[in-house]
Amino acid sequence: MASEKRPTDVDTGKVLLTDPFSPHRPGQSWIDHGWLVQVMLWPIYRATGLAGLALLLAAIVTAAFALVYRQCEGRPFVAAFAALLAAIASSVIWAVRPQIVSFLLAAIIAYLLDAYRRTGNVRRLWPIPVVMVLWPTATPGLSSP
């Protein structure tokens, strides 16, 4: 593989339509499944750099686990310990990549379903179709085989 620097989304500020990374098929058309998240991350990166992206990542992970914790019934210390163990186990996937949005969206869907289960209020289910429409355009986490 050649050692020259190849353009990335961050370098160009555009969503790439061809694959500059493949050593076997460079320049072939490429479907960027995470384009929507990348479009949202670009202005944050331009304004704050990597530090801003790191803070955003921390906020997304914190929000996801706050939703998970809120679903736990019973003793709060046991729930906090279980959420902490889950955070440790899932920390290997924490990265500023489109997949982290799947992490948050899964927590949102679980929270909405749990809220419906607890209250029986059908209005808790209305955001789910909106999330399900946005999810495949944001990250391949829902649509990947």
Tell me the pTM: 0.77
Percent of the chain with pLDDT over 90: 42
Buried b (16+ CB within 10 A) or exposed e, 96-105: bebbbbbbbb
- How many Cα atoms sit within 13 Å of 38 on the Cβ side? 16
What is the distance between the alpha carbons of residues 13 and 102, in angstroms, rounded to a whole number?
A: 23
pLDDT digits (tens, 9 = 90+) for 22-62: 788 777 887 777 778 888 888 999 999 999 999 999 999 99
pLDDT digits (tens, 9 = 90+) for 130-144: 988 888 877 766 654
